Amino acid sequence: MEGILGNHVRVPTDDQILGPFYPVMKPIARVADLTSVNGKNGKAQGQVIYLMGQVFNLNGRLIPDVEVEIWQANSFGRYTHPSDSNTAPIDPNFEGYGIQKTDAEGRYRFKTIKPKGYPVPIGWTRPPHIHFCVTSKTNRLITQLYFEGEPLNEEDLFFKNAINKGSITTKLVPPIEEMESDSLMAVWDITLGQL
């Protein structure tokens, strides 16, 4: 079963703003493990999460060779970006950026940490979220992933204005056997608006 919902077309994942902190300096290597920095011995601070899923088109077909980029704040709520004026600490063992391509079955997988929310200058606090840029041969989606049950979700202007909040929200659940016992897992499938 390739994610086809009967004879119905899949609902596309909502788009969201790019945000001001898209990485200026990206690692040269394709990184899927954001919990460490190449050349450093330390580990990123915070709750480790395994983030995985598959990328589909509107007909429910899996899309291979899709570029999936993520970027996010650290466990203190700060981005590794020169324009982030947040006074929260920078984690020297967390660059906050990863990139990979989906495999033949449209799968992607990252190991990262759960980001913390952070204040924005116009007077509210963003909930924890992870930015995504998903690029296929015919389409590009900019979106953000939110975590179910976060109290700040409903106060967030971008989340509140989403057309289909369920398409940009995931649960954090206990890990499977191959993962660290104190980690969490998030499974989130992405549907691009293409046939």
The set of catalytic residues is 79, 118, 126, 129, 131
Task: Report the SS3 class of residue 13.
Answer: coil
Q: Which position has the token pair 């970027």? A: 71
At residue 70, what is the residue type?
A: I
Q: What are phi and psi of 183, to 5 degrees?
A: -90, 170
Q: Going along 2-86, which residue ranges are E strands? A: 48-56, 67-72
For β-strands 140-147 and 169-170, DSSP reports them as: parallel
H or E segment at 69?
A: strand 67-72
H or E segment at 158?
A: helix 157-160
112 in Cβ contact with 49 (< 8 Å): yes
Sign of CA dihedral 87, 147, 113, 22: negative
